[in-house]
Structure 1
Amino acid sequence: MGRSGLHENGCFLCLILHLLLQGRGHTFTINCSGFDRYGVDPAAFQAVFDRKAFRPVVNYSIPTRVNISFTMSAIVEVDAQLQLMTSFLWLNVIWYNPFIRWNPEECGGIRKISIAAKNLWLPDIFIEEFMDVDQTATGLMAYVNSEGLIKYDKPMKVVSICNLDIFYFPFDEQNCTLTFSSFIYTVENVVLGMEKKVQEISNTSQNLIRSKGEWVLLGIHQRMMKMTVGTNQYDQIIFYVAIRRKPSLYVINLLVPSGFLVAIDALSFYLPAESENRAPFKMTLLLGYNVFLLMMNDLLPAAGTPLISIYFALCLSLMVVSLLETIFITYLLHLATTQPPPMPQWLHSLLLYWASPRKCCPTAPQKGNKGLGPTPTHLPGVKEPVELVGKVSCHIESELNGCPGSAGTQQEEEAQKQHLVDLWVKFSHVMDTLLFRLYLLFMATSIITVIVLWNT
């Protein structure tokens, strides 16, 4: 039983050697007589077709050189959530088959013919980043010339994994890789090379993609390397595909409306602080901005936190702060006109510092107020407690006993109250102006920072 097995193995090895060694010398040349009169005779290539299961070499210790190039015809989609790039490639693979040769002079000048790819040995070149089933059409043809050079072209829809960085969306640039390698053959059997210069591949692809889709091809670069798996080494060619997003769609639909809404919110500060329409107007803008963000949410990347999301959150925060400032000023004005509290001395000094001297209200009347009217150093609302108690007692006494000078005292108190109201109203206006300037400064700084980050 063992001898029969050895005998069968020996016969199988002899068959392989016979197939490999077949065609030495003159047998390499295909007899193509009559091709010019009766067409190509399939029987002339039958010996070649029978060898398709084996790598076409005369000496098995010599590796087969496979040259690769491709043309990227379209970038269909870049999925930021799944980290995938979908593109169309025209893959070109060229190798040499020493068993296919003929003399063109004997074959009616035929120098190149097409042969069904299924009848030939094909190198198992694949893309390592491929993340989908290969949907290449079947029944493709390969061109063979009279020297045995085979050129095999096939279109491919490539769904490849790509490490995407969407922080700078929509002004982002991505760098995806396409790694070509052999699945089975090590460097002892198959070595890879370039069929075209990478600059030619890049220029041809750029001309095809220039006016198609959302992405622009910036360039293609390549690097040769070897991958080691255990004790085996595999030849690899890595192509770096640099692409850039066309931002016009997002600028028009996202950035421009957002900028308009923020600009209108800033201009709303020019509405009078006493107006009852400022707060409702700002609330309407805030609600409109939230509706805008909900409608435009589909245009934003679903994964990660791009810079544009931070920009939108910043604009929303500015509009909320603007509304809070309006509420604060409205409260101050309401407090000043209904029941103004005493103004501290430090606050009055600060008000005098920020307000213009020409626009600042006079501190108190200077004539006809000897002893009763407020002095420049003692403003209304900051008098000593004893003096305030004396005034209150005099006012009560005047109501009960008819204290002389009660009418003048009442007029003086009304003047002081009006003066205090004017001070608080002035303070409200100064605070409104100050907060508006701080708002503009923070908004300009934030927007400039975002623009600088986008440009880096």
Structure 2
Amino acid sequence: MTGSLLSTGRGDSFTINCSGFDQHGVDPAAFQAVFARKPFRPVTNYSVPTHVNISFTLSAILEVDAQLQLLTSFLWMDLVWDNPFITWNPEECVGINKLTVSAENLWLPDIFIVESMDVDQTPSGLIAYVSSEGRIRYDKPMRQNCTSLSSFLYTVESMLLGMDKEVWEITDTSRNVIRTHGEWELLGINKATPKMSVGSNLYDQIMFHVAIRRRPSLYIINLLVPSSFLITIDALSFYLPAESESRAPFKITLLLGYNVFLLMMNDLLPSSGTPLISVYFALCLSLMVVSLLETVFITHLLHVATTQPPPMPRWLHSLLLSCTSPGRCCPTAPQKGNEGPGLTPTRPPGPKEPGELGKEVRPGETELDGDSGWTKTQLVELWVRFSLAMDALLFRLYLLFMASSILTVIVLWNT
């Protein structure tokens, strides 16, 4: 009896007898013959593949694993295909152009996510929209990690995938409805249509590439600001007295603190590739290491200057004279005929110079050095001043390199 409700129409199409349709509802018996064909692919010729058009709307970004570059999203996926066995004449069916039918009674294409190994959590009891021309639209919500869609059973001889909407339409619709908790920004969606080969079988596939960007406020507040504070404190530590014993331990403490900071923020950066912010952190760490090495070098110079100062070459003494201010002029080498134990270095009035390091001139220190013609006290003063001049020079070079490097990173960031 139900077979009489499905009559052959023009060509290879079939038309449902909707004489039972009235204003009180749809006669379920009119679709029994169609529902009985559910296990089979709805085609009149099995050599013709079924065309399934796919589109989706990205409605929420649930989770992003920045290290694995894995996006967990919630989307509505739309599948559209034609069923030649579900057609009717709207004029004969009280003007009905579209019906909602339980998806459990229809053949559904087995579109799945290639990379997903989770259990499908799509709710049951969904419905499909069926038009009078036999076009079926099936929408279902999905939680997924990737967007590579393919058929599980049907090869390209049986099923071909296409697009129901253009990619720019999908992108615009997703931007209007997406919820990201203010953290992520949807940049765009692109697609590719590679074929998936499994053994001797070839499957049609559509791969969507979703480009998102984390809003910069997270990086600025949680990463850039603390890092900038630490590198600024490291630069200011050069104002600690070079001869004091607190500069090197202070810099070591800062370096250890910065390493702890890098370990804490490591979860926010991707494990593959080299993002620009990682380059910035590596640069800051390198600057702090160079700063510590400079302090070690200056400390060594001061130690040598106050224990066993070597003779200072004439060219180095002349260079030191030209680089120091008149108020802190270094003592000149004694001329012949003026050498004697009574020669003392000239000093500006005021507190003692750092080169003295709390030492008083003892009688044995006024003897002349046979190689340079200076007393040991004068050599100590010269080498201490040379150490302080080197400290100032290296500090200026450090600031120049730090400023140029940070400006380069900022320019690259903006471009």
TM-score, length-scaled by structure 2: 0.79
Between the aligned partners of 1:361 and 1:82, the Cα distance in structure 2 is: 61
Confirm or deny that 1:270 pairs with 2:239.
Answer: yes
Cα distance in structure 1, aligned partners of 2:311 and 2:103:
97
Identify if the C-alpha distance between structure 1 residues 454 and 131 changes in structure 2 by more than 3 Å, giving closer, same or farther: farther
Label 1:292 to 1:85 Cα distance change in 2 as closer, same or farther (>3 A): closer
Q: Which residue of 2 aligns with 1:103?
A: 89
Quote the Cα distance in structure 1 between the aligned partners of 2:205 and 2:295: 65
More deviation, 348-357/95-104: 348-357
The one-letter code of the counterpart of 1:61 is S
Q: Distance in 2 between matches of 1:196 and 1:224?
A: 15
Q: Deviations over 1:265-320 (max 9, x none)?
A: 11222334345553454344334434434444443445676554454344334324
> Which residue matches 1:117?
103
Shift of 1:353: 4.9
The answer as to 2:13 corresponding to 1:31 is no
Q: Deviations over 1:331-371 (max 9, x none)?
A: 444554565443244532443454456643241466xx835
Q: How far off its partner does 1:143 sit?
A: 0.8
237 and 433 in structure 1: CA distance in 2 versus 1, 3 angstrom threshold: same
Aligned counterparts, 1:22-421, within 5 A: 23-25=7-9, 28-160=14-146, 178-209=147-178, 211-212=180-181, 214-229=183-198, 232-275=201-244, 277-301=246-270, 308-337=277-306, 340-356=309-325, 359-364=328-333, 370=337, 372-373=339-340, 416-421=375-380
Q: Kindly indicate whether the alpha-carbon contact (under 8 Å) linking 2:60 and 2:180 is maintained by their aligned counterparts in 1.
A: no
SS in 1 for 2:174: helix
| Bigger shift: residues 325-334 or 240-249 | 325-334
**What displacement does 1:237 show?**
2.6
Whole-Å separation in 1 of the counterparts to 2:72 and 2:121: 13
| Counterpart amino acid of residue 127 in structure 1 | I
Residue 440 of structure 1 is aligned with which of 392, 399, 412? 399
Q: Name the % identity.
A: 72
Partner Cα distance (1:95, 1:125) in 2: 12
Q: How many angstroms apart in 2 are the aligned matches of 1:60 and 1:372? A: 115
Matched AA of 2:389: V
Structure 1: runs of 5 or more not aligned: 1-18, 161-177, 380-407
Q: Matched residue pairs, number?
A: 385
Counterpart AA for 2:29:
A
Higher Rg of the two aligned structures = 1
Q: Are the structure 2 counterparts of residues 302 and 212 from structure 1 closer, same or farther at C-alpha, using a change threshold of 3 Å? A: same
Other-structure match for 1:385: none
Give 1:191's aligned amino acid: L
- 2:289 & 2:199 partners in 1: Cα distance? 61
Deviates more, 1:78-87 or 1:297-306: 297-306
Question: In 2, distance between residues paired with 1:82 and 1:124?
Answer: 28
* 1:74 Cα deviation from its structure 2 partner: 1.8
What does the per-residue CA deviation read over 1:208-251, in whole Å, with 9 as the maximum and x for residues that have no partner? 23754533221112244544555544333332222223232122
Q: What amino acid does structure 2 have at the position aligned with 1:207? A: N
Work out the CA distance in 2 between the residues paired with 1:410 and 1:225. Answer: 86
Computed over aligned residues only, the root mean square deviation of the Cα atoms, in angstroms, reads 3.4
**CA 322–225 in structure 1, closer or farther in 2 if over 3 Å, else same:** closer
CA contact (8 A) 1:210 1:216 kept: no
The verdict on how the C-alpha distance between 1:281 and 1:200 changes in structure 2, with shifts beyond 3 A counting, is same
Return 5+ residue gaps in structure 2 as ranges.
346-362
Give the conservation status (yes or no) of the 8 Å contact 1:91–1:154: yes
One of 375, 384, 388 as aligned partner of 1:429:
388
Say whether the 8 Å CA contact 1:75–1:213 is kept in structure 2. no
TM-score by length of 1: 0.73
Q: Is the 8 A contact 2:67 2:269 kept in 1?
A: no
Query: Comparing 232-241 with 250-259, which one deviates more in the overlay?
Result: 232-241
Aligned to 1:372, the other structure's residue is in SS state coil
The amino acid across from 2:9 in the alignment is G
In the alignment, is the contact (CA less than 8 A) between 1:95 and 1:150 conserved in 2?
Answer: yes
Mark the CA change 1:63 to 1:410 in structure 2 (over 3 Å): closer, same or farther: closer
More helix by share: 1
**Aligned-pair distance for 1:199?**
1.1
